[in-house]
Amino acid sequence: MFGDLFEEDFSFVSNNQCGKGKKPKSKDTEPPAPREFTKLSGIKNQGGTCYLNSLLQTLHFTPEFREALFSLGPEELGSLEDISKPDVKVRIIPLQLQRLFAQLLLLDQQAASTTDLTESFGWNSNEEMRQHDVQELNRILFSALETSLVGTSGHDLINRLYHGTVVNQIVCKECKNVSERQEDFLDLTVAVKDVSGLEEALWNMYVEEEYFENDNLYRCGACNKLVEAAKSAKLRGCYGGHYHVYIKDVDALGNWQLKEEESKLMTEEKVQKDTENSKEMENPLTILKGILSEEESKQIPVDQLGQKLLEKKGMSWNKKYRKQYGPIRKYLQNHSQIFRLSPDNKVSLKEMYHKLQFGSDSQGQGLQSSSQNNDVQWTSESLCTVLKDSASGSHWFDLNDSKVQPIKEKDIEKQFQGKESAYMLFYRKSQLKRPSEAQANPRYRVPGPLVNEMDAANIELRKRRMDCDSADSNIDLHLHLGSHYKLYHGALHPSLSQKESMLDLTIDKRKTLGDLRQSIFQLLEFWEGDIILSTAKSLPAGLHLYQTLDGDEMTLGGIGLADGAHVFVWNGKEVGGMEVLSGLDHEPVLLNVLRLAGYNEGGKGQHFIESQHAVPCSAELSTLWKALPLPGGIILMNSSGSDKEVENWKVVPEEDMKKTVRSVGLTDGSSILVLDSHDQSLVNMASGNLTAFTHDISWLQVKNFCRLEAEEKQVKITATIETVMSDIKIKAIQELQLGEDLVNDSCLRPINRNGKLLSPVPEDYTVKEAELKMGSLLGLCHGKAPTSTQLFLYFVVGSDLQGGPEMEIIVEETASVRECLNLMLEKSGLPGDNWHLRRIDWCYEAGEALSEESARLKELNVCSGDTLVITEGKLPPKGFLKVPIWWYKPLMHFGHQESMQDQMNCMTCMMGALRVSPAGDSPTYVQSDIGLCYAGNVEISGEAFLEDLKIQAMTLPFFQELSVPSPEFLRAWTLESKRPGKLLRNNQQQLNEYKLGGRTEICIEPLQKEENLGPSDLLLRVQMGIPGERDYYHSVDLVWDISKECTAWALRHRLAAHYSLPVEKIEIAKYFPEKFEWMTVSSWTQQISKRKRKKKQESLQSAPFHLKDGDIIGVKNLLLEDGKDFSTVRDDIGKETQRQLAMEKKKSRQAQRLQNDVFSEGKVATKHRKPEVALSINVGIFR
């Protein structure tokens, strides 16, 4: 399923751009691969869309669905070119489906892309990476298509093709009266466990009779009495599509061949002979002769011969034969008695071999299309020949995202004979016959504009593939001109800039060395004398020469020149008057040379100077003294490559100084330590080890923040991990040439990746204790650094942490929370004592309060660099809760007496209005479309009861203006995301038992009568639809006892009893206000027996409904209206507003991302995982 998770999602038609230049080559610059031998196109997986790909392929291979969609023209659907026009209605989803089906039929690419289609769904990249249920997608897609096709001739497309009916019958045993009730469906769900097949599953679920007898009698309408009866169901009229994943190709659009079919046709007595024949067919001579004999012109370019072999055998010459027979051109030359190579690089069979009869290798391989016929305009003759292998005339294919393979029907049956079962099945009526002109004709009934678009795309694809094949033979060579180089330290270095010293030349690798030499002569008109070409390589020490290129008749590929190779152009003798030594034995080595620049007693403050020197690997170690500005001394070599361990440094003995650099093991990047005579006291000459060199070498960067005029200047300070920070500060002040007065009035502060100054480092810390890494950036700032017993803290005031200024303070770690708060209030200038401190949580918001004001900061694990928030308001005593109280009055849906304009105006106001709460520590903004009004705070013990909380809320000034008789007339909810969340029931339950957090908010709802809900009571807000209008009557509260079951069947009966309507004459749906969407509660599966219902029904409190207290349930009376559309005008406006807000948010994010790329280079972005959301498809309004 996730096999193509990291594959580029590329489709030629939807992304018709190709980058200029050959390198760097990426999948986006290469043309998509052509179709494979099946001649069918797969679909790219966008990350987790295998369920979507399987459903789309199923619908595509349903000819009735595909052709019905193709029959809708632009006069009904509009045009994709008019999407940006505001006054034009464009039905994007069916148009994109048409275009995708045309690509699957006609475009010569291995796999099509669904990017354009999913964008028309309104899906983002997160949706494409998330796996969903294919049955759920099928229902949602069908619903989206029905909505998109409203008002067109295809408005009943889904109903016409996939509609079925369940007929429930009850037959009276006495009068034989038959009572029928029909229910519609688009798909059926069956239980497959412990059943032998699909027929048994359907029988058990729908057809098996249930008898009403004994104590369970049926009241017959004809007899008007309780009688014995039999209940059963029948299925009527359903078809469409094929198997999920495995699809039957009824139009013979694909090429069905299985290689194992040939071997199974062999008889037992011919096995040995055929085995020998198969070995003969693997002979490259036989294969190449067969390819050339099938060509009409009897000759093809050598490069195309390799491509033909790849198409025929599924493997290139280089992979299959090169190791044994060499390059294909050499193989043809070695068999000159059979093949003729012309001067224009074409190959053909000699005349005697034209007369030989070459039969097809096999029934499959001899019929594969050549590269010139990859336009998918396949003829029916060639396909009919392929299909002669089967008497059935149509075959099965396994479509697995991008891969399409043929599969036998018996293999499918074998797969599902055991415990495994198919998840979703599509059926098509066997009586449906396809016209003969549709057979093997992918263009059948495809609209002309789409045919023209695919033909043009195929022409462009062929051109790009030819260009790509040609570009694959080109290589780029970097030519280094000897006259622009000089030699020092055993390596070549450009005397001018790199650009002026080097030329780039693109040449066909099939050309000879002589051709390359001639091309260079034409480029270098100033060159005199012979040109010698040598291979070169750029090393850390410089450019080095290796091999001189000889043999002008050899091809560039044959002598090993690859793309990006470096070639040195010179006279072969000297460069700049100096002899050049080439080859592996004279490679230059770049060494890191360390030497002591100063020494302080006690080992602290040791500074080292590091420089790089290049020497030939064949040079003696004694020659290093000539390259170093030292008269003599001793050399220590790092034996393991790690500079940090003392025991790795060894003195080079005097006798080894005559050895070469390579023989002693020095390579690029190796370090040596050079000590003067006065530094030799650090070495124990007897053992050859260091004695006083006990600290790791390190260096830091210090940037000046003390002087504005020198703000951008920074210096590099060499140090060890034991160097004290005060020494580093003094050295930095000297290097920056700042005044000595800063020594006592400055500190060093680390700078993070975002450029923020962190807490100062104590000056008595060493580099190791400060946990600074090599290369760390420090800021030299005004102010004193904290001591090891002090804390450096940041703090902000209020709840706006992003917009408020961040201040700094240094306090003793033994200070109490109250003392720290007083210092912060004094520094920020805030009056009074109505404040408290909070920590910052992980999402940079005010989090846990520091409630123990007498506790010390150290005891509370407050560390240097932490950020605290000064929040208004006093903390409640320990064990008490400070609860913000809100007044909640649910807003009713609009009545039918209001005008459409009033509804739109009110909807716009409710979506945009904001209300400010009066208290600083309470929530700041609340959307006004949910009827919330801030009432005040209540301070109450956690051991108090819910009834006590309601009583205290009634004492607030806001509630005193209302006449509330008792707490039983109030309903309490928690407030979640500014909406009512959990219903708090049972007035005699303690608040601690509700697990209310320190930041929990409560909203109180007034009631018209007393209420005492039990633990199994579910509170729903039910509203009946107004017949003939897209609106509802005022909602009413409905208490539903779910102690027995919480299923759709039980809810329908509860609502039918509430409205005194027959249960089969109502439709119900749940409303999702945050998305302005209704989800219909399916009804046809409810009319099954009680015994089966217990096994079948799932709780409405689970996915996808997640039914809970306060949910809105819409009810439609089918006696007065037959429409099943639950949406209102408010929903249409709300969805459009959400869409506009989402577009604005997307543009804002793109602008912010662009700004961050420009101004925050190097910043590490953190990707937060978003919560999982339900699958949905956004559709425009076409009513």
What does the DSSP assignment read for 602-627? GGTT-EEEEEEEEEETTSBGGGHHHH
Strand partners, 839: 868
Q: How many other CB atoms are found less than 10 A from the CB of residue 283? A: 11
Radius of gyration of the chain (CA): 41
What does the DSSP assignment read for 467-502? HHHHHHTEEEEEEEEGGGEEEETTEEEESS-HHHHE
Distance CA 621, CA 611 (A): 17
> Which residue matches tokens 């998840």?
423
CB 840 within 8 A of CB 801: yes
Query: 585 to each of 546, 582, 639, how far by Cα in Å?
Result: 9, 8, 22
* Exposed e or buried b per residue across 531-563, where buried means at least 16 C-beta atoms within 10 angstroms of its C-beta: bbbbbbeebebbbbbeeebeeeeebbbbbebee
Mapping DSSP to helix (H, G, I), strand (E, B) and coil, where does residue 521 land? helix
Strand partners, 671: 592
Q: Is 59 left (phi over 0), alpha (psi -120 to 50) or beta?
A: alpha
* DSSP state, residue 655: G
* Bond prior to 343 in cis (omega within 30° of 0): no
Q: Which residues contact 992 (CB under 8 A, 6 or more apart)?
A: 942, 943
What does the DSSP assignment read for 626-651? HHSS-S--EEEEESSS-TT-GGGEEE
50 a catalytic residue? yes
Distance CA 367, CA 350 (A): 24
Distance CA 690, CA 268 (A): 82
Written as six digits, the tokens of 1054 are 């509860």
Distance CA 650, CA 655 (A): 14
Q: Quick one: CA torsion of 206, 211, 216, 218, rounded to 10 degrees?
A: 80
**CB burial of residue 1077 (10 Å; 0-12, 13-18, 19+):** middle
Q: Which residues contact 123 (CB under 8 A, 6 or more apart)?
A: 1177
Distance CA 56, CA 280 (A): 43
CB 637 within 8 A of CB 666: yes
Residue in 50, 172, 747, 1003 annotated catalytic = 50
Residue in 60, 172, 220, 242 annotated catalytic = 242
Sign of CA dihedral 315, 318, 323, 328: positive
* Exposed e or buried b per residue across 571-607, where buried means at least 16 C-beta atoms within 10 angstroms of its C-beta: eeeebeeeebebeeebbbbbbbbbbbeeeeeeeebbb
> Which residue matches tokens 């006093």?
874
Written as six digits, the tokens of 599 are 């020494």
747 a catalytic residue? no
At residue 1050, what are phi and psi to the nearest 5 degrees?
-70, -35
Strand partners, 835: 872
CA angle 595-598-602, nearest 5°?
Answer: 115
| β-pair type (914-916, 867-872) | unpaired
* Exposed e or buried b per residue across 1089-1099, where buried means at least 16 C-beta atoms within 10 angstroms of its C-beta: eeebbeebbee
Q: What is the largest CA-CA distance in the chain?
A: 126
* Residues with a known catalytic role: 50, 242
